[in-house]
C-alpha cells in the first residue's frame, strides 16, 4: 500500500538521483555515438588515403590506368568533397582492384599447382555470388548510371576471366565488383557524358 503521508520533499530526494542518472546515461550514449561515428569517418578517410597511395604507386611504375578506374577515382574525389568518406574509400578500393586486374594475365597460367587453382576458383565463386546478392539489394547505388555501368562491365569481365582460367584476373575483378556492391547509399553526383575525368596522380 503506497504511503500517502510521505513528505513530497522526501519523494523528490528519491527521484532526483534517478533522473540525474538517466540524463547522464543518455548524454553518455549520445557522446559515444558521436565518437563512434567520428572514428568511422577517420577510418574511411585513412582507407581512401591508402588506396590513393597504391594507385599513385602503380602509375609511377608505368601502369596505365583503366578508364573505369579513372572514372571511379573522379567519383571518389566528388564524394570526398561531399563529406562521404566511406563512399570514397569503396570507390577507390574498386579502382585499385581494376588496376591490378589490368596487370594480371587474361589467360590460364601454365604450371600452376592444381590445389591453388581449386582454391582460387572456390574463392571467386564465393565473391561473385556475394557481389551479385548485394548488388540486387542496392537500389540507390544502382540508380547511379556510372557506377551501375562499371559494375556490369566488371562482373562480366570477371566471369570471362574465370571461364578462361585466368584466376588472378578474375579474383581482382570480383573484388572490384564486390567493392561497388558494398557501397553505402550512394547519393553523389553522376559523371556527365564526356566529362573530363580526373587523373589519379592529381590527388
- Look at 29-43, 57-71, 101-115 and tell me which has the smallest mean pLDDT: 29-43
The pLDDT of residue 123 is: 96
The residue written with cell numbers 604507386 in the block is: 57
**CA distances (Å), origin 133, targets 75, 127, 158, 166, 178:** 24, 10, 16, 23, 10
The SS3 assignment for 28 reads helix
201 pLDDT tier (thresholds 50, 70, 90) = very low
pLDDT in tens, 123-160: 999 999 999 999 988 887 777 889 999 999 999 999 99
pLDDT digits (tens, 9 = 90+) for 45-104: 999 999 999 999 988 877 788 999 999 999 999 999 999 999 999 999 999 999 999 999
Q: What is the pLDDT of residue 50?
A: 96
Separation between Cα atoms, residue 99 and residue 2, nearest integer Å: 75
For the entire predicted model, the pTM comes to 0.72
**pLDDT value at 168 more than 70:** yes
- Reported as a pLDDT band with limits 50, 70 and 90, residue 24 is low
pLDDT at 29: 47
CA–CA distance, 137 with 126 (Å, rounded to integer): 17
What is the residue extent of each domain of the chain? Answer: 36-202
14 pLDDT more than 60: no
pLDDT at 25 > cutoff 90: no
Q: What is the dihedral of CA 44, 46, 47, 50, to 10 degrees?
A: 160
Q: Which pLDDT score, from 0 to 100, does residue 138 have? A: 81
Amino acid at each position: 500500500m503506497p504511503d500517502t503521508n510521505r513528505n513530497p520533499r522526501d519523494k523528490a530526494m528519491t527521484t532526483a538521483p534517478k533522473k540525474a542518472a538517466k540524463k547522464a546515461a543518455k548524454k553518455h550514449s549520445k557522446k559515444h555515438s558521436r565518437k563512434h561515428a567520428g572514428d568511422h569517418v577517420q577510418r574511411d578517410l585513412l582507407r581512401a588515403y591508402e588506396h590513393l597511395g597504391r594507385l599513385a604507386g602503380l602509375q609511377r611504375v608505368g601502369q596505365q590506368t583503366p578508364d573505369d578506374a579513372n572514372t571511379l577515382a573522379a567519383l571518389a574525389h566528388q564524394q570526398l568533397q561531399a563529406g562521404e568518406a566511406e563512399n570514397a574509400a569503396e570507390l577507390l578500393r574498386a579502382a585499385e582492384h581494376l588496376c591490378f586486374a589490368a596487370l594480371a594475365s587474361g589467360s590460364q597460367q601454365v604450371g600452376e599447382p592444381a590445389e591453388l587453382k581449386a582454391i582460387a576458383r572456390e574463392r571467386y565463386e564465393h565473391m561473385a555470388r556475394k557481389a551479385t546478392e548485394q548488388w540486387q539489394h542496392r537500389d540507390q547505388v544502382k540508380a547511379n548510371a556510372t557506377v551501375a555501368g562499371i559494375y556490369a562491365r566488371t562482373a562480366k569481365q570477371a566471369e570471362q576471366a574465370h571461364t578462361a582460367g585466368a584466376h588472378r584476373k578474375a579474383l581482382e575483378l570480383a573484388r572490384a565488383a564486390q567493392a561497388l556492391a558494398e557501397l553505402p547509399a550512394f547519393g553523389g553526383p553522376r559523371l556527365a557524358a564526356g566529362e573530363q575525368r580526373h587523373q589519379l596522380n592529381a590527388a
